[in-house]
A and B are shown apart, each in its own frame.
Chain A
Amino acid sequence: MSGPTKSVRFREAIRMGMVEEMERDDRVYIVGEEVGHYQGAYKVTEGMLEKFGPKRVIDAPITESGFTGISIGAAMVGLRPIVEYMTWNFSAVAFDQILNNAAKMRQMSGGQLHVPIVFRAPNASAKQVGSQHSHAMEHFYAHVPGLKVVAPATCADAKGLMKTAIRDDDPVLYMESETLYNLKGDVPEDPEFTVPFGKASVARQGGDVTIVSWSRMVHVSLQAAEELAKEGLDVEVIDLRSLRPLDEEALVANVSKTHRAVVAYEGWPYGGVGAEVVDRIQRLAFDELDAPIERVTTLDYPMPYNAKLEQHVIPSAERVIEAVKRVAYRSA
């Protein structure tokens, strides 16, 4: 990062990205439940209604399918909408619009139409929000050709990826985390600062084992790495940032250095982005592997409401530590 920076919270970093792009391009607008008068369910859009007025900061009724469909149509005819869901869980109601219209329009129209739209919301577990509100939805969406999926873990990436998402001419799904909204970090003030898609970053350097992670789990992995350092294991933590497109080059280069990998993320163990990462590594870097790749995931249950059970099901630093020891052939 060069140039002046500002220390902000994660929610402000997202807002900085949106506000700067709305100032830069008057085709950009935001729509969603409570984004205007209530200042955002998680205060991400605070002050934006006052700044841009009700034509560009639009309070929607509780009709995810409706305002998603209208925004996809608006994008097809030239606007650049940002659609906020109160959480990604509620996008399930609009899944048909995202899957069948946003993702497919470019190909089905033979390139005559494209859909420059950003969908954004908090994702995965929070604290006791129950099984229906704790889904890690990136796995559903990253499955779909035609969609791009990003999930920042730092404030700078939150701003930079948001700006890249808004400038992108195709649908981008932007995954936040309720537990990261208060995270503080330095963010470049440069209005031309962006973070490219398909480029992972190294959150921590190490030579023994690579942990691949994204979003909130980057921080859990860093915590695990600090614990492991005390036991003499030198762990590298990769923050994917962008789940589709996926930075294959970084995965191969990194595993060629450490020869062991653990993929740590929220989401169920059956399939998903983590399984995709494992597949790429084993296929592209087979000869570099000294141990099977392990995954640390949400356990294979609907999320329990009970606080203790919930903490048991969400992937923890302890489980990451155990997995790293196993791939390093250290007895856990």
Chain B
Amino acid sequence: MAKIIDMPKLSPTMEEGQISAWHKKEGDAIGVDELLAEVETDKATMEFRSFDKGTLLKILAPAGSVVKLGQPVAIVGAAGEDVSALAAAGGGAAATQAGAAAATTPAPPSAAGPAGPPPGALAPVTTAGALPAAEGGRVRASPYVRKLARERGLTLGGVAGTGPHGRIVARDLEGLAPAVSAASAAAAPAAQDEAPEVRPLSMMRKTIAKRLTESKQTVPHFYLTIDVDAEALHTLRERINDDLATSVADDKDAPKVSFNDLVLKAVAIALTRVPAANAQFTPDAILYHRRVDLSVAVAVDDGLVTPVVRGADKKSVLAIAREVRELAGRARQKKLKPEEMAGGTFSVSNLGMFGIDEFSAVINPPEGAILAVGQVRREPVVRGDAVVPGRKLAMTLSCDHRVIDGAVGATFLKALRGLLEHPGQILVL
């Protein structure tokens, strides 16, 4: 018998998921544990595998749809089974987005016109119900949302609904700018250029917005900046990379270490020396971690993620270098597993490659601190009694004052500077 397949929980914190791609199409036979679709969750793109054997009779949530946990995404059953009743019951009500609707009959073009009435105009009652019909199907929106859309001159076609069955609810309109209506566009053609592009929030963007707002609003941040003489570090890195180049036949295949890899290892060692900086706040107690798991900020399309290098204090610089490259590569393809981005004890963010001298970062809760690393910059330094060309590296530590006081943060930075200015020890510790 045909049954509705719901959006499963693919990560521990997932509340909704966006179908990024279907790997089966309607009519395909599917087996148990076969890959049905890929789903973008708050953490990563996850595989959605079948628990059932049969035929994929109907896709209720097309690619692009945002679907809440437990809401229908597809109907599976025996080949040729009639699913119209099921589709009407739960299924017709699947999430829809950007015109990718489940309904098969397109709305008559006259029902809504290209856009809603001009801002401020109340549509006559007779057309109100049909107002924001998107191409290919009816947009699901609460009555209040339709009223707001009329008042603000919004079109609802491209809005991702977060209510049941993808219903657009009032909170989904936050931050949306009015689309240009037919009437006002004719009156003022220039207005089209002024209207911002409306891009619905991706799952990652929502998570970043939520977590970082929470961090800045609830974690009392303070910042400590230190400037490190990076001459020795620079010399050491050149030497390491030159030596590594001799280990392979072709230079191009040679492993390399970056400044950031050296900084990561130095941070890991400094944290073992000043364990008070490797701490986490909880309502009843402070947790001092006995492990050094570094979250490394990686920029990806439309956001950033923080894969974790575990036990960084026990790994060699080259091992850290390889691991960071591998994690960053998969992060950019959104192939990281949620557990690979969880459980860090301290974060490092580096914007040196963009030419940033120094900056301060937002703490990544529940961690107690994040180190923002700038570029190694050339500047005159005083050596002995002479001003000579030198290299400097500025770093800013953002601390959660509930667990790390100024003196602790400063002690950590001092230890870190000691390691970076005498970097030979980084290689052997």
Contact = CB atoms under 8 A, between A and B. Distances in A.
Interface of A: 259, 286-291, 329, 331
15 contacts: A259-B142, A259-B144, A287-B128, A287-B143, A287-B144, A287-B147, A288-B144, A289-B144, A290-B145, A290-B169, A291-B142, A329-B162, A329-B163, A329-B171, A331-B69
B122 to A, nearest CB: 9
Contacts of B145: 290
Contact of A289 (B15, B142, B162, B164): B142
Contact of A288 (B147, B162, B164, B169): B147
Contact of A291 (B68, B146, B163): B163
Given A286-B143, A329-B171, 15 more contacts: A259-B142, A287-B128, A287-B147, A288-B143, A288-B144, A288-B147, A290-B144, A290-B169, A290-B170, A291-B163, A291-B169, A329-B162, A329-B164, A331-B68, A331-B69
Interface of B: 15, 68-69, 128, 142-147, 162-164, 169-171
Contacts of A290: 142-145, 169-170
Contacts of B171: 329
Contacts of A291: 142, 163, 169
B67 to A, nearest CB: 13
Nearest to A255: B144
A329 B169 contact: yes
A287 B169 CA distance: 12
Contacts of A286: 143
Contacts of B147: 287-288
Contacts of B143: 286-290
Contacts of B144: 259, 287-290
Contacts of A259: 142, 144, 170
A190 B55 CA distance: 76
A291 B165 CA distance: 12
Contacts of A287: 128, 143-144, 146-147
Nearest to B129: A286
Contacts, number: 32
Contacts of B15: 331
Contacts of B163: 291, 329
Contacts of B69: 331
6 nearest A-B residue pairs (beta carbon) = A287-B147, A290-B144, A290-B142, A290-B170, A289-B143, A259-B144
B170 to A, nearest CB: 5
A291 B164 CA distance: 10
B149 to A, nearest CB: 11
Contacts of B169: 290-291, 329
Contacts of B164: 329
A83 to B, nearest CB: 44
B174 to A, nearest CB: 13
Nearest to A286: B143
Select the residue from A259, A290, A291 with max chain B CB neighbours within 10 A.
Answer: A290
B180 to A, nearest CB: 24
Contacts of A288: 143-144, 147
B201 to A, nearest CB: 16
A286 B129 CA distance: 11
B90 to A, nearest CB: 15
A71 to B, nearest CB: 47
B319 to A, nearest CB: 41
B221 to A, nearest CB: 23
A290 B164 CA distance: 12
Contacts of A331: 15, 68-69
A289 B146 CA distance: 10
B17 to A, nearest CB: 14
A287 B122 CA distance: 12
Contacts of B128: 287
Contacts of B146: 287
A14 B48 CA distance: 63
A289 B147 CA distance: 9
A114 B147 CA distance: 46
Nearest to A288: B144
Nearest to A291: B142
A331 B145 CA distance: 20
A287 B143 CA distance: 5
B160 to A, nearest CB: 14
A288 B128 CA distance: 13
Nearest to B70: A331
Select the residue from A286, A329, A331 with max chain B CB neighbours within 10 A.
Answer: A329
B194 to A, nearest CB: 29
A286 to B, nearest CB: 5
A326 to B, nearest CB: 9
Nearest to B164: A329
B117 to A, nearest CB: 14
A288 B145 CA distance: 8
A288 B144 CA distance: 4
A286 B171 CA distance: 18
A324 to B, nearest CB: 15
Nearest to B150: A287
A256 B144 CA distance: 9
Contacts of B68: 331
Contacts of B162: 329
A287 B170 CA distance: 12
A259 B170 CA distance: 9
A325 to B, nearest CB: 12
A231 to B, nearest CB: 15
Nearest to B68: A331
A279 to B, nearest CB: 15
B103 to A, nearest CB: 20
B169 to A, nearest CB: 5
Contacts of B142: 259, 289-291
A252 to B, nearest CB: 13
A278 to B, nearest CB: 14
A289 B143 CA distance: 6
Select the residue from B15, B143, B164, B170 with max chain A CB neighbours within 10 A.
Answer: B143
A107 B240 CA distance: 103
A331 B169 CA distance: 15
Nearest to B161: A329
B89 to A, nearest CB: 16
A287 B141 CA distance: 11
A291 to B, nearest CB: 6
A36 to B, nearest CB: 55
